[in-house]
Copies of this chain bind each other. A is one copy, B any other.
Amino acid sequence: MSDTTTKEAVKDADRAPAAKAGSGDAANGLSRRRLESRRKLIAAARQLFVERGYHATRPQDISKLAGVGHGTFYLHFTDKLDCFLTFADEVCDELEVVLQDHLGRARNVEESVKETLYAIYEYSDANPGVLAAAMTNTAMLSVEETKRRSPMERWAGQWTEMVLQWRAEKDITSDVDPLLSGHLIVGAISQGMAYGYLYQVDRDKLINDIAQALFGALTRQ
């Protein structure tokens, strides 16, 4: 249905329409009109993915809510998965801002872990349901999705860097492969936070428990 050529064609269109005649904004090579359509589509997609979830949301619903024609959706995204990953990426960016803000206050490993969890709560309070919708295992959405990193993977990378830094500063004693550590931490946090939400665990207790477990994992016995 959509071979590499087709996919690339759309991606290229996003990049630059060659600024021939009617192309507006020369700065980024994208017309104002196109950007506006894309913005409306992403906003609609976000709302629907959060409200209904991935599977109950159809491209036609997104187009309709965005107030653009059905075909326009496919001019901006190759398919629903592409649209979803764009949304998830956006959420990652937003979370990272909150995260960096919180991490600035942390003075050691334990505080960093706790601040991360508090940042997640803060973002979720401000954007109910968004994280749950975005932080999904994309392996299930498509078999072959090696080109784009999933939110989970991206987040694991961030944790890896933190682990490396802590190790350099002798804050932790674990000699576990840092990249593996990043993945273990992300897996534990996602599952743990999901559990806490599902069973309505007290917020502070959950954060303390997870922080204790992660801190223990990072310290060699």
Which of A's residues lie within 8 Å of B, judged by CB? Answer: 52-56, 132, 136-137, 139-143, 152, 156, 174, 176-177, 179-181, 183-192, 194-196, 199, 201, 205-206, 209-210, 212-221
Q: Is the CB of B213 within 8 A of A221?
A: no
Given known A-B contacts A52-B143, A140-B141, A219-B221, A184 and B188 have beta carbons under 8 A apart: yes
Q: Is the CB of B152 within 8 A of A179?
A: no
Residue of B nearest to A182 (CB): B195
Which residues on B sit within 8 Å (CB–CB) of A187? 187-192
Residues in chain B near residue A205, CB distance under 8 A: 177
Whether the pair A55, B143 counts as a contact (CB closer than 8 A) is: yes
Main secondary structure of the interface of A (DSSP, over half): helix
CA distance in complex: A79, B189 (Å): 32
28 A-B residue pairs with CB within 8 Å: A55-B140, A55-B141, A55-B143, A136-B137, A137-B137, A139-B194, A140-B141, A152-B191, A156-B191, A156-B195, A174-B212, A174-B213, A174-B216, A176-B212, A177-B201, A180-B192, A180-B201, A180-B206, A180-B209, A183-B192, A184-B191, A187-B188, A187-B190, A188-B191, A188-B217, A215-B221, A216-B216, A216-B217
Q: Is the CB of A181 within 8 A of B216?
A: no
Q: How far, in Å, is A144 (CB) from chain B's closest CB? A: 9
B195 touches A191 (CB 8 A): no
Q: B residues within 8 A CB of A55?
A: 140-143
Q: Which residues of B contact A209 (CB under 8 A)?
A: 176-177, 180
Bound-state CA distance A199–B182 (Å) is 13
Contacts of A212 in B (CB 8 A): 174, 176, 220-221
Distance to closest chain B CB from A3 (angstroms): 16
Q: How far is the CA of A141 from the CA of B53 in the complex (A)?
A: 9
Contact assessment for A184 and B156 in the assembled complex, using a CB-CB cutoff below 8 Å: no
